C-alpha cells in the first residue's frame, strides 16, 4: 500500500511539473513581453544647433509621450561626445539605443559596445557603417531626396542651355550625404553633359561630366571640394569664395543644388542673393523646416524636399513596440553598411514648392499658416 501511495505521489508531481513547463512555453504567454515603463530607451541625436534635430526631439516627445521611459541626448556634432552619450545610456541600463550618428564610421565602435551589453541598436536617419552589430535602420529614401532636388532644377531649366550651376554636398561624415549626391548626380549628369548646366564651382564635377554611374570614391572626390559640413557658416564661406573666384559670366541667372538641409540652403541663398551680379536664383533645399517655409513664401528658396521626421519617429516606435511585445519588427527593405544588410524601415519624401505648400504643411497641421508673413490662402 505504501509503495502504491508513493508511486501515486510521484506521478502527481511529474504531471504538475509537465503542466508548468507547458505553460511557460505557450506562445500567448506574456512572459516574453517587456514592461515599457520600466525599460530605458536611449535616443542620441547629432546637435541642437540645427532646426532639423530640434524638430526630431519635439516629435520624439510627442509620439513616445508617456508610453516609454526614454532619454534624449545630443552629441553636438562631436564623436567623443556621442561615444560618452552611448556609454552613459549603457551604464543606465538602456534596453534600446536609437543612434543618429555624427560620423557614420566612428559610430560603429559605440554600436559594438552597446551590443556587448545585449542592447538593441537602431540606426536613426543616418546609416552607421562598418559594423555587423546593427539591429535596425530607420530612414528616408535618401537617393530619392537628391533626385527630387535635381529633377526640380531640370524642370525649371526647360530647354535653356548654359545655365550657371553651383553644387553643394552634405557632410562627408554622414553616409546619407553620399546617397543624396548619388541621386542628384544620376539625374543631373546628362544635363551637365549636354550643356544645359555649366558647373561653376567644382572642377571634379566637370571632369566627370560624361559619366553617369560614378563609383563611391569618385562621388566623394567631387564632394570633398563642396562639402557643407552641414554647417551654415561653412555654406556661407563656400558660396562667397566661389562667387569671388568667378567672373560675371558665371553669375547672372544661377541655379544651386543645395545640400539636403534647409538651414544650409538658407545660408547659401543669403550669400548668393547678396552678390549684386546674381540677378536670378533657383535653389533647392530639404527637410521642410519652419524657417525655410517662410523663405519659400518670400521667394528666397525655390523648394524643399519634405522629410517628415514624424514618420521616422513613428517607424522607430513601431520597431520598439514590436520588440517590447516580444515580436519581430516589420521592415521594408535592407541597406548595406559594408558589413551587413541592415533591416530597414523606410519613409517617403515629398517635393514642396509655393504651389503646394498649403496642402503639405498648413492643411495637414504641420505648421500654422497664419503665423507666416505674407501668406494668404
Q: How many angstroms separate the CA atoms of 275 and 85, rounded? A: 42
Give how far Cα 369 sits from Cα of 8, 71, 305, 344, 375, Å.
Answer: 79, 32, 18, 34, 7
Hey, what CATH topology would domain 34-134+310-348 get? Rossmann fold (3.40.50)
The mean of the pLDDT values for the chain is 91
Q: At what angle do helices 262-273 and 51-64 cross, to 10 degrees?
A: 150
Check: CB of residue 51 under 8 Å from CB of residue 290.
yes
The CATH class of 142-306+351-371 is: alpha beta
Numbered ranges of CATH 3.40.50.2300 in the chain: 34-134+310-348, 142-306+351-371
Tens of pLDDT, residues 196-252: 999 999 999 999 999 999 999 999 999 999 999 999 999 999 999 999 999 999 999
Cell reading at 122 = 537602431
Contact 49, 42 (CB under 8 A): no
Residue 75 confidence (pLDDT) above 90: yes
Confirm if 270 and 262 have CB atoms less than 8 A apart.
no
Least confident range of 14-28, 201-215, 251-265: 14-28
- Axis-axis angle for helices 79-91, 108-116 (nearest 10): 10
pLDDT at 12 over 50: no
pTM more than 0.75:
yes
Q: Distance (Å, rounded) from C-alpha 244 to C-alpha 234?
A: 15
Amino acid at each position: 500500500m505504501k509503495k502504491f501511495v508513493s508511486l501515486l505521489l510521484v506521478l502527481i508531481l511529474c504531471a504538475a511539473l509537465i503542466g508548468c513547463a507547458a505553460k511557460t512555453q505557450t506562445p500567448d504567454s506574456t512572459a516574453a513581453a517587456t514592461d515599457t515603463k520600466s525599460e530605458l530607451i536611449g535616443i542620441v541625436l547629432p546637435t541642437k544647433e540645427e532646426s532639423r534635430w530640434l524638430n526630431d526631439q519635439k516629435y520624439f516627445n510627442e509620439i513616445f509621450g508617456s508610453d516609454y521611459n526614454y532619454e534624449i541626448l545630443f552629441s553636438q556634432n562631436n564623436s567623443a561626445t556621442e561615444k560618452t552619450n552611448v556609454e552613459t545610456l549603457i551604464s543606465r541600463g538602456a534596453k534600446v539605443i536609437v543612434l543618429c550618428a555624427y560620423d557614420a564610421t566612428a559610430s560603429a565602435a559605440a554600436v559594438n559596445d552597446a551590443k556587448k551589453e545585449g542592447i538593441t541598436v537602431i540606426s536613426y536617419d543616418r546609416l552607421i557603417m562598418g559594423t555587423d552589430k546593427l539591429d535596425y535602420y530607420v530612414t528616408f529614401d535618401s537617393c530619392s531626396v537628391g533626385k527630387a532636388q535635381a529633377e526640380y532644377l531640370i524642370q525649371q531649366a526647360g530647354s535653356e542651355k548654359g545655365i550657371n550651376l553651383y553644387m553643394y554636398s552634405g557632410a562627408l561624415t554622414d553616409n546619407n550625404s553620399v546617397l543624396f549626391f548619388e541621386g542628384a548626380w544620376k539625374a543631373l549628369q546628362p544635363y551637365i553633359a549636354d550643356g544645359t548646366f555649366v558647373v561653376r564651382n567644382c572642377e571634379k564635377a566637370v571632369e566627370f561630366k560624361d559619366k553617369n554611374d560614378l563609383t563611391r570614391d569618385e562621388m566623394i572626390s567631387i564632394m570633398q571640394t563642396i562639402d557643407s559640413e552641414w554647417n551654415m557658416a561653412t555654406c556661407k564661406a563656400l558660396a562667397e569664395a566661389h562667387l569671388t573666384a568667378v567672373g560675371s559670366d558665371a553669375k547672372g541667372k544661377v541655379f544651386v543644388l543645395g545640400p539636403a538641409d534647409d538651414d544650409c540652403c538658407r545660408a547659401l541663398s543669403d550669400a548668393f542673393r547678396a552678390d549684386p551680379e546674381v540677378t536670378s536664383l533657383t535653389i533647392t533645399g530639404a527637410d521642410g523646416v519652419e524657417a525655410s517655409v517662410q523663405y519659400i513664401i518670400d521667394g528666397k528658396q525655390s523648394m524643399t524636399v519634405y522629410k517628415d521626421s514624424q514618420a521616422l519617429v513613428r517607424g522607430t516606435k513601431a520597431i520598439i513596440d514590436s520588440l517590447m511585445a516580444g515580436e519581430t519588427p516589420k521592415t521594408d527593405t535592407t541597406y548595406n553598411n559594408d558589413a551587413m544588410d541592415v533591416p530597414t524601415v523606410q519613409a517617403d519624401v515629398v517635393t514642396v514648392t509655393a504651389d503646394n505648400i498649403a496642402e503639405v504643411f498648413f492643411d495637414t497641421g504641420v505648421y500654422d499658416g497664419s503665423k507666416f508673413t505674407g501668406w494668404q490662402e
